[in-house]
Each structure stands twice: as C-alpha cells, then as structure tokens.
Structure 1
C-alpha cells in the first residue's frame, strides 16, 4: 500500500502560490556531472522565456522529449544540479518499472498555448 495522504491545505496556501506553466522542450542532452543519469532540457515557455531544467527523464529518448509539451514550476529558486543550474522544475511521475526517481513528464491531453497557467 502507498504512503498516507498529506494533510489537507487550501489552494491559497499551495497551488495559488506556484506558477506552473506549459512549455515545449526545444533540446534534450545528457546533463554533465550529475550523480545519476539525467537530461538537460531547454524548454520554451512562450512569453515567459526559455528556461533550463535538469531532470531524470532518461526513460525517454531525446527524440521523444524534443517537441513534447511539459508542465514546469517557474517560481522555484534555481538550483545547481551537476554542472548545470536548473531554472525550472518539470513535473513528472514515476516512470513505470524504472528505479526510484526516474520520471515521465506530465503533459496536457491536447496541444495548448505555451505559457498557459495551470489552474
């Protein structure tokens, strides 16, 4: 059985504080210096600019990643990951059958405008 749910919170305490927007992966390349294999993704968020993200989406090939629409948290502080600085957190869930921490990205069911806000 999975872990217990976290305590109930209000949208004002959580989701309203996060700036989650839709982007499109422009480039995917191996991320140098990371403790585990990861991709360095260049993601276009429309009028919010192009941002760099480092993530463990290695169950996907670069060809699968480039062009994909992804959801990213734009207002987290940048953080060093290996030899890069990750400027945005791309949201994902556990990749089926993969080791812990290996992710597949979240994407909308229909193509949407880059920079669109998650609500």
Structure 2
C-alpha cells in the first residue's frame, strides 16, 4: 500500500468518525432546544475542510494512476464535498434551529457516504 493510499484510507476513517460524532452532537443539541452555536458551526467548517483534504488525496491518487474498485466511489466523494455548502447557501439566513437539525442529519449522511466510499474504494 502506497503512502498516499494509506493517507487517503486513514482520512476516510477520520472523516467517518468526525462526521458521526458531529451529527450526534448536533442532534443532541437540537433535542436540548439549542440553536446552531459557534462551536458547532466551527466544527462543520472543520468537517468540510476534512472532506476537501480527503478529496485532494483521492485526486492525487487518480493522477498517480490509482483507481477505485468501483466507479461509484467518485459519486460518493462528489456528493460529500457538495452537500454541506449547498445546504448552507440555502439555510444561512433562515431559522438556526432548523438549520442545526438539517446540518446534523447531513453530517450523519456524510458519515454514511464515508462508509460507502470505504467499501467501494477497494484499498
């Protein structure tokens, strides 16, 4: 296993765990009656940054000649990098409590995408 593939693999696990914890944290905050706080918003930005780094590692692997076991792997990566910015652009001036719930569910969705990405990557 090349070093770049190892980095991409470990980043996928980090992304999975980070987004799962972030989704659970956000849903717990929603249940407690809270709105989107600065801490949670910052964590979502960090999560998006982690997605970007993961995608860049994947692109570097493709440039180096590696390919995933299944082509749907690319779809999971594209969806993961686009979904949070899209929803943010839709919800940025709306009810922050509803935004918290939707962002939290999306974090769990991205964790699911990470699971699918891991299974289709073939590394």
Q: Sort the TM-score into its range (normalised by shorter chain).
A: under 0.3
TM-score by length of 1: 0.21
Higher helix share: 2
Relative contact order: is structure 1 or structure 2 higher (C-alpha 8 Å, sep ≥ 6)? 2
Q: Which has the higher strand share?
A: 1
Structure 2 length-normalised TM:
0.20
